[in-house]
């Protein structure tokens, strides 16, 4: 039996796809270490240029060792010619049910490419295995989006929004819970617009149905684009009163300057983001706000960057994913005049320094407090990762995976708290 090695790059959506790829391959092949594998699957991400370089360099290295390589995910659609030169097989994110056929073909010496626009409901597939040291599972509820951002290459690969059937999502969650998983991470490019391809906002209804599933578990909601979140926020807020939902909101604003947001072809203004945060502040005693910022977008003046800094000072998110702008082929922004790398690097440094200061201040306020927690998985150096009601990461020296417990915060870092079971 031929052996494979699977490597995943990028977001949780890719991680969910890799779970499906793995289980499809395990029907006919055996998973092995990198040294023992007969063929390699690189499940790629095309969001950032630095990630692209890492993937392509890995493919070159493997081909130099005469290994068989399949590049899956977004890059085969974003950079088809480069990928064709480096891989024996290519498969798009909407075609992964054909992964075994591609593997069999390349092992016979053939070169195969399958990157069509197939309508797959990935929520139909419930390939889960109970894990000893991890009680968290990622479940995608949709593919694609309704945006048309000038910087985003993911739209090229994943296309328009395809919401997976609610009954399939709910069944998949129930299967995961029956196997002992306690944390469900819902993912998609934009969860706020779930259902709109069928003409309705369905995220509130989905979340309400999830909270009615029997059992003690927690749900972490993925990315919520500001434009669509604002339209459903009043319906979503009451549902988050359930203890089954982490009070965790990932709302990617990308910039604090309205002119830059317009160039990015985002459908909202910074005032919309501020209104969302004000609503969260009003309704929750404690919650966790995460956002994304692109630094150095073409046309970003010093004043525009200052506007972004000011937005971060006002909203004080606990998590900020900072990315320096990188041109992606096939996007409108690819043709825009890029800022000098030194400017992007310096602005990234300034923003990171501000965010670190805010994160430290936010973490410090939890010192000495007690929380109900879920111990999610084993961490590094025999530690355990847990989360409290807002999804804040807490590191423990002792614990048991999938255990609900109480912990007191005894120390803190910018990105996590340090707790002790009580």
* pLDDT level of residue 132 (50, 70, 90 thresholds): confident
CA distances in angstroms from 187 to 39, 202, 209, 307, 309, listed in the order given: 28, 15, 17, 30, 28
* pLDDT level of residue 171 (50, 70, 90 thresholds): very high
What region, left, alpha or beta, does residue 402 occupy, with left being phi > 0 and alpha being psi -120 to 50 degrees? left
Using CA atoms, how far apart are residues 167 and 175, in angstroms rounded to an integer?
12
What's the whole-number mean pLDDT along residues 18-41?
Answer: 96
Nearest residue to 91 (alpha-carbon basis) of 72, 116, 78: 72
Using CA atoms, how far apart are residues 208 and 188, in angstroms rounded to an integer?
18
Please give the full DSSP string across 283-295, using - where no structure is assigned: H-SS-EEEEEEEE
Whether residue 127 is predicted with pLDDT greater than 90 in this model: the reply is no
207-262: pLDDT as tens digits = 999 999 999 999 999 999 999 999 999 999 999 999 999 999 999 999 999 999 99
Whether residue 200 is predicted with pLDDT greater than 90 in this model: the reply is yes
Structure confidence at residue 126 (pLDDT): 84
Structure confidence at residue 134 (pLDDT): 96
What's the whole-number mean pLDDT along residues 15-21?
Answer: 95
CA distances in angstroms from 318 to 189, 268, 321, 413, listed in the order given: 21, 22, 10, 12
- Other Cβ atoms within 10 Å of 3 Cβ, number: 14
Structure confidence at residue 221 (pLDDT): 98
Question: Distance from first CA to last CA of the chain, Å, rounded?
Answer: 50
Higher local confidence (pLDDT), 42 or 131:
42
Using CA atoms, how far apart are residues 317 and 420, in angstroms rounded to an integer?
25
* pLDDT level of residue 119 (50, 70, 90 thresholds): confident
Helices (H) and strands (E) in the chain, counts: 13, 19
Whether residue 161 is predicted with pLDDT greater than 90 in this model: the reply is yes
What's the whole-number mean pLDDT along residues 101-125?
Answer: 94
**Is 64:37 a contact under the CB 8 Å cutoff?**
no
**Bridge-partner residues for 374, per DSSP?**
387, 404
Structure confidence at residue 296 (pLDDT): 98
Using CA atoms, how far apart are residues 109 and 377, in angstroms rounded to an integer?
41
Nearest residue to 84 (alpha-carbon basis) of 113, 61, 110: 113
Whether residue 96 is predicted with pLDDT greater than 90 in this model: the reply is yes
**Is 386:417 a contact under the CB 8 Å cutoff?**
no
Torsion of CA 260, 263, 266, 267, to 10 degrees: 100
Using CA atoms, how far apart are residues 195 and 155, in angstroms rounded to an integer?
18
Domains and their CATH numbers in the chain: 3-114 (3.40.50.2300), 122-364 (3.80.30.20), 370-421 (2.40.50.140)
For 164, the enclosing helix (H) or strand (E) is none
276-325: pLDDT as tens digits = 999 999 999 999 999 999 999 999 999 999 999 999 999 999 999 999 99
Using CA atoms, how far apart are residues 328 and 78, in angstroms rounded to an integer?
8
Nearest residue to 93 (alpha-carbon basis) of 145, 35, 150, 53: 145
What does pTM read for this prediction? 0.96
* pLDDT level of residue 116 (50, 70, 90 thresholds): confident
What's the whole-number mean pLDDT along residues 165-184?
Answer: 97
Whether residue 422 is predicted with pLDDT greater than 90 in this model: the reply is yes
């Amino acid at each position: 039996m031929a052996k494979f090695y699977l490597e995943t790059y990028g977001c949780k959506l890719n991680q969910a796809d890799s779970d499906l790829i793995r289980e499809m391959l395990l029907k006919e092949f055996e998973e092995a270490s990198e040294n023992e594998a007969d063929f390699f699957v690189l499940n790629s991400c095309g969001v950032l240029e630095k990630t692209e370089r890492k993937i392509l360099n890995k493919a070159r290295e493997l081909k130099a060792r005469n290994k068989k390589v399949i590049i899956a995910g977004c890059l085969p659609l974003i950079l088809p010619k480069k990928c064709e030169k480096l891989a024996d097989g290519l498969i798009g994110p909407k075609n992964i049910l054909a992964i075994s056929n591609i593997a069999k073909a390349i092992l016979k010496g053939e070169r195969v490419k399958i990157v069509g626009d197939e309508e797959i409901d990935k929520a139909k597939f419930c390939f889960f295995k109970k894990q000893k040291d991890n009680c968290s599972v990622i479940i995608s509820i949709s593919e694609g989006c309704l945006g048309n951002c000038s910087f985003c290459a993911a739209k090229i690969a994943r296309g328009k929004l395809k919401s997976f059937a609610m009954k399939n999502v709910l069944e998949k969650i129930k299967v995961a819970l029956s196997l002992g998983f306690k944390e469900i991470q819902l993912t998609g490019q934009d969860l706020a617009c779930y259902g709109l391809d069928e003409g309705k906002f369905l995220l509130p209804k989905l979340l309400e149905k999830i909270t009615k599933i029997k059992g003690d578990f927690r749900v972490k909601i993925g990315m919520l684009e500001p434009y669509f979140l604002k339209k459903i926020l009043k319906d979503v807020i009451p549902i988050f009163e359930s203890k089954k939902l982490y009070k965790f909101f990932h709302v990617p604003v990308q910039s604090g300057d309205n002119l830059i947001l317009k160039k990015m072809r985002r459908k909202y203004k910074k005032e919309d983001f501020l209104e969302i945060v004000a609503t969260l502040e009003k309704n929750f005693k404690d919650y966790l706000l995460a956002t994304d910022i692109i630094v150095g977008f073409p046309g970003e003046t010093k004043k525009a960057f200052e506007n972004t800094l000011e937005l971060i000072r006002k909203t004080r998110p606990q998590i900020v994913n900072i990315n320096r702008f990188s041109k992606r082929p096939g996007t409108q922004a690819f043709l825009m005049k890029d800022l000098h790398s030194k400017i992007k690097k310096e602005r990234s440094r300034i923003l990171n320094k501000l965010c670190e200061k805010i994160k430290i201040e936010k973490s410090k306020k939890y010192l000495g407090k007690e929380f109900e927690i879920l111990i999610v998985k084993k961490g590094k150096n025999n530690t355990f990762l847990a989360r409290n009601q807002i999804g804040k990461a807490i590191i423990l020296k002792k614990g048991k995976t999938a255990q609900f417990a109480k912990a007191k915060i005894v120390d803190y870092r910018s990105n996590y708290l340090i707790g002790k079971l009580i």
